[in-house]
Amino acid sequence: MSCERRFQAELHRRGLRVTPQREIILSTLHCFHSPFTAEEVFRKVTESSPGIKLSTVYRTLELLKSINLVSVVDVGNRRNHYMHVEAESPHFHLVCRRCEAVLSLSSEEILEVQSKLCAKSGFEIEINRISLPGLCENCRRFEE
Amino acid sequence: MSCERRFQAELHRRGLRVTPQREIILSTLHCFHSPFTAEEVFRKVTESSPGIKLSTVYRTLELLKSINLVSVVDVGNRRNHYMHVEAESPHFHLVCRRCEAVLSLSSEEILEVQSKLCAKSGFEIEINRISLPGLCENCRRFEE
DNA sequence: TTGCGTGCAAACGTTTTGCAGTATT
DNA sequence: AATACTGCAAAACGTTTGCACGCAA
């Protein structure tokens, strides 16, 4: 099921409303291929629909989060980052502390880590929300 | 070398000053055994030295960060979290999305992940800054 | 017709900043 | 004596909220 239909179905189920703003915001998320901020969504949305306000973007992202169509990734600067959850294999992000580049990565090893951590501590990590801080290949040269 | 001496040495090296505020703030960090906020440091510092202001705490944490005596850990709520970097084996944190508990963990496996990731992508993760989001054993029962 | 959603603007909590006086070197 | 640092207060920043009107159901 496309995420547009999932969204509509869930809105109906909860007695909420399908509004143009919500549909536009959701469709905009397809533009992004790494974690994005509310502000970035707002700017993108504004290009085609100047009427939609930032607060509506925030409210819609929150709603999408509760439907699991969006997840939150913390990449470490002050802004919240979100990502569009599609039916992909779980992936996580590497965020360079120096240049702020974001690498998206899907890896078998993280699944191994997940199950070992869970066996050891009962804690179940959520792979899609992981961001690992560090230095990318380029930036490593500039740090002593 | 104790971190107090490292701090002093680095201040001298940079032509900066050793002030009572800076020394008090650094010594306070020993109280914390999991990531802490600027506000928490401020409250602790205030108990013994009511004159020191929050903005000074922020500035000092920033300074300590640049000397690598403090690192930033993102545990996902809006506040920044810092931790005191001592000469311990590298450890990272598990942060429960539901109850916000923080588990500190030192694990061999993460070193393995680190070297594999680096070999594969050139990206070097910084273990001490990692926080992995997820659900702790308790809270897993409450999510469907 | 009901009541959810939106735009608007103001509030919020955290962090940063400009400035003038104070303290360290 | 020079200038880095602090306290102070205000600004900045991202995000949230209250309210009145508008729109989907």
Q: Within a 10 A sphere around the Cβ of A90, how many other Cβ atoms?
A: 15
Predicted TM-score (pTM) of the model is 0.82
Average pLDDT over residues A67-88: 84
Which positions 25-44 on chain B have a beta carbon less than 7 angstroms from any atom of strand C?
37-39
Out of A107, A121, A136, whose CB is closest to B94? A121
Give the pLDDT score at B57: 98
Write out chain B's pLDDT in tens, 144 residues.
688 999 999 999 999 999 999 999 999 999 998 899 999 999 999 999 999 999 999 999 999 999 999 999 877 778 899 999 875 678 888 988 888 788 888 877 788 889 988 998 899 999 988 889 999 888 888 875
CA angle A10, A14, A18 (to 5 degrees): 65
Give the pLDDT score at B87: 58
Closest CA to A95 of B35, B87, B117: B117
d(CA B70, CA B103): 18
Set of chain A residues whose Cβ sits within 8 Å of the Cβ of B97:
126, 129
The integer distance in angstroms from the CA atom of A78 to the C1' atom of D21 is: 34
CA angle A83, A61, A132 (to 5 degrees): 30
Residue B81, beta-bridge partner list: B73
- Looking at the predicted structure, is the pLDDT value of residue A109 above 60? yes
- Looking at the predicted structure, is the pLDDT value of residue A144 above 60? no
Termini Cα distance of chain B: 50
Residues on chain B bordering chain A, Cβ-to-Cβ distance under 8 angstroms: 72, 74-76, 80, 94, 96-97, 103, 105, 107, 109-110, 112-113, 116-117, 120-126, 129-137, 140
With DSSP H G I counted as helix, E B as strand and the rest as coil, what are the percentages for chain B, rounded to 5? Answer: 45, 15, 35
Q: Give Cβ neighbours of residue B85 (< 8 Å, ≥ 6 apart).
A: B68, B69, B70, B71, B128
